[in-house]
Amino acid sequence: MSASTSNSIIIVGAGVFGLSTALELKRRGYSDVTVLDRYNPPAVDGSSVDISRIIRIDYADPVYCQMAYEAYQGWKTEYKDQYYESGFALLSETPNNDWISKSAATVRANGGTVEDLEDGVMLKKSYPNIQSNLGGMSGYLNRRGGWADAAGSIQKLAARCSVAGISIISGPRGSVVSLVREGSRVVGVNLANGSSLRASQVILSTGAWTNRLLDVAHAASSSGQPVGFIQLTQDEARSLDNTPVMINMSTGVFVFPPTPGSNILKVARHGYGYANEVTVQDGGASRTISSPKFDSSNSETGYLPEDADEDLRKGLRQFFPEFADRPWLNRRLCWYTDTPKGDFIIDHHPTLQGLFVATGGAGHGFKFLPVLGKYIADCFENKAPEELRQKWRLQPAPRGASSAYSMKGDGSRAGPPLRKLTTMEKAKL
Ligand SMILES: *[C@@H]1O[C@H](CO)[C@@H](O)[C@H](O)[C@H]1NC(C)=O
Ligand SMILES: *[C@@H]1O[C@H](CO)[C@@H](O)[C@H](O)[C@H]1NC(C)=O
């Protein structure tokens, strides 16, 4: 049964999943929509924040490729002020990288164009300012693609929510510590300020924090992925004018062109990441999960594990040899919500009534910002095509499931396997 538009709806989490859902539900006539988060959007330690996210239509999976095309239209129109079409190049040290080949075929099957790069040096014909030599690498270039100002896009989306009449509450009044259950029904949320809020429907778009509120450890786990920023001068930034977003599919390391105006260079890794093992209390029982901190910001300390720092440095040296020794302006772990095959989780809870889950971004959700809410609202209203409902289903937990933190995603990751942070490392987070 779908919810009535006069029902009260609480959306927990003001990232790209939560805000896009809120706006779409409001557009569909739901009159009472409230969004709660620990921080004001863009949440400082969420995964919908900072200076850039890759915008690509390149996917091995035809479903996401098609969705990304649709989102791309939104980036070219509604969100054009936040979008930079630099082009996107995928490169690998090994010829015929499986994911790259599949992605090229999928893009072509969807009517797109990619330019094969038998050798990476070919890329320098289109982009002479690339510093790296790229010899011996191969892959392809898609000129349709680039990056978006992540914080700016979320700000714009949040402003639209406000204008539409959606309350966005943050701080202790917006920090959800647990769900209020009555039997097999979720009827609201308990807040860090000691009060609770009731609602007919609770939607969890809590990203990497989801397992703290609801046991979905069989379906999603959080991993921290390293990100580093470097300050360039105006002239240095200019020397990298007209360069594309590039990913090294052999290491998972990817880089962006410098941001116009602020001249910041960003390097990150789309890998298997780090698990932060914590024990949470849940209705008398305790569970051990991987999750970022809840009580304080995860981007405050700027800490990265030493091996992550070294690998980012190495990536920087490979892509931008002239800036390889620059000190970091800032560093952080960006918290992904990984799922076994990289599929989102967008579904009514299989056994708890009044609860809907929209999470599992698996490190590739942001680009869908212009269209994600529509897909989520379709699932919420039980209108989505069967194929999508199956794909994004929240499977019931198998009996006696032990939570494995390693969820490998869609085959696009590279780099070292997932590693649990040590006690010493955790103390520095
Ligand atoms: C806690 O926050 C909620 C808003 O989310 C508010 O309605 C309630 O009055 C607050 N309670 C206290 C004790 O401040
Ligand atoms: C990509 O990674 C491979 C494997 O570590 C490395 O040999 C190559 O130099 C890297 N290239 C770039 C441009 O990052």
Task: Tell me the pLDDT tens digit for each residue of 348-401.
Answer: 999 999 999 999 999 999 999 999 999 999 999 999 999 999 999 999 888 766
Q: Give the residue, out of 195, 196, 197, 198, with the most ligand 1 atoms within 8 A of its beta carbon, to mutate for a pocket test.
A: 195
**CATH superfamily, domain at 8-427:** FAD/NAD(P)-binding domain (3.50.50.60)
The first and second tokens of residue 169, run together, are 């509450």
Ligand at shortest distance from the CA of 196: 1
Q: Which of 293, 299, 289, 294 is nearest to 333 (CA)?
A: 299
- For residue 405, what pLDDT is reported? 86
Reference 69, options 424, 385, 370; nearest CA is 370
Place of tokens 């009517």: 111
Closest CA to 14 of 168, 164, 171, 189: 168
pLDDT of residue 401: 63
Average pLDDT over residues 205-214: 98
Give the ligand at the shortest distance from the Cα of 192. Answer: 1
Average pLDDT, integer, range 96-117: 97
Domains of the chain by residue range? 8-427
Is residue 36 within 8 A of residue 11, CB to CB? The reply is yes
pLDDT of residue 1: 52
The span from the CA of 389 to the CA of 120, in Å, is 40
Which residue's CA is the closest to the ligand 1 atom numbered 4?
Answer: 173
Which of 168, 170, 173, 180 for a ligand 1 pocket mutation test, highest count of atoms within 8 Å of Cβ?
173
Please, are residues 367 and 53 in contact by the beta-carbon 8 Å criterion?
yes
> How far is the C-alpha of 122 from the C-alpha of 117, rounded, in Å?
6
Buried b (16+ CB within 10 A) or exposed e, 328-367: beebbbbbbbbbbebbbbbbbbeebebbbbbbbbbbbbbb
Residue 407 CA, ligand 2 centroid: distance in Å:
24
CB–CB of 211/339 below 8 Å? no
Q: Which residues contact 41 (CB under 8 A, 6 or more apart)?
A: 14, 15, 19, 48, 154, 155, 157, 158, 168
Q: What sign has the CA pseudo-torsion 117, 121, 125, 126?
A: positive
Q: Is the pLDDT assigned to residue 277 strictly greater than 90?
A: yes
In the structure, what pLDDT confidence band is assigned to residue 403 with cuts at 50, 70 and 90?
low
| pTM for the full predicted model | 0.97
pLDDT at 402: 64
**What integer is the mean pLDDT of 69-94?**
98
Determine which residue's CA is closest to atom 1 belonging to ligand 2.
248
- Phi and psi of 148, rounded to 5°? -125, 150
Are the C-beta atoms of residues 245 and 88 closer than 8 Å to each other?
Answer: yes
Q: Which string of b and e fits 86-122 if b means at least 16 CB within 10 Å? A: bbbbbbbeeeebebbbbbbebbeeeebebbebeebeb
> How far apart (Å, rounded) are the C-alpha atoms in residues 319 and 323?
9
In this predicted structure, which of 74-83, 128-137, 184-193, 281-290 has the lowest mean pLDDT?
281-290
Index of the ligand 2 atom closest to the CA of residue 251: 2
Yes or no: say if 334 and 15 are a contact pair by the CB < 8 Å rule: no
Please give the average per-residue pLDDT across 243-247, as a whole number.
98
Two tokens, residue 427: 């103390």
Average pLDDT, the chain: 96
What pLDDT, on a 0 to 100 scale, did the predictor assign at position 282? 83
Distance CA 8, CA 19 (A): 16
C-alpha to C-alpha distance for 320 and 237, rounded to whole angstroms: 11
Average pLDDT in the 57-61 region?
98
Relative to beta strand 32-36, strand 83-84 is unpaired
Q: In degrees to the nearest 10, what's the CA dihedral of 165, 169, 170, 171?
A: 150
